[in-house]
Homo-oligomer: A and B are copies of this chain.
Amino acid sequence: MLPYVILVEPQMAENVGMAARAMMNCGLENMRLVRPREDHLSDKALAASSGAGEILHNAQVFASVREAIADLNWVAATTARHRDQTKTVMNADHAAEQMCELTASGNKCGIMFGPERTGLRNEDVCLADVIINVPLNPKHCSLNLSQAVLLVGYEFYKTQIEIPRAQLVTNHTVPAEKEKVLLFCNYLEDKLDDCGNFKIGEKREKMIINLRNIFTRGQMTEQELNTLYGVVNHLSKKK
Q: Which residues of A contact B (CB under 8 A)?
A: 21-22, 24-27, 50-52, 83-91, 93-95, 130-131, 134-137, 139-143, 146-147, 150-151, 154, 157-158, 161, 163-171, 173, 188, 191-192, 195-197, 207, 210-211, 213-214, 217-221, 223-224, 227-228, 230-232, 234-239
Contact = CB atoms under 8 A, between A and B. Distances in A.
Given A52-B140, A88-B168, 4 more contacts: A25-B142, A135-B157, A188-B231, A211-B231
A50 B141 CA distance: 11
Contact of A91 (B166, B207, B224): B166
24 contacts: A24-B139, A25-B143, A27-B136, A27-B137, A86-B173, A87-B169, A88-B169, A89-B166, A89-B169, A91-B163, A91-B165, A131-B169, A136-B157, A150-B150, A191-B235, A195-B235, A195-B239, A197-B231, A207-B227, A210-B224, A211-B227, A214-B227, A232-B235, A235-B236
A159 B157 CA distance: 19
Contacts of A87: 168-169
Given A90-B166, A135-B158, A140-B25, A227 B210 contact: yes
Is chain A's interface secondary structure helix, strand, loop, or mixed overall?
A: mixed
Copies of this chain: 2
A118 B26 CA distance: 21
B137 A192 contact: no
Nearest to A213: B224
A173 B206 CA distance: 15
A234 B235 CA distance: 9
A136 B26 contact: yes
Contacts of A213: 224
B151 A86 contact: no
A85 B169 CA distance: 7
Contact of A167 (B88, B163, B195): B88
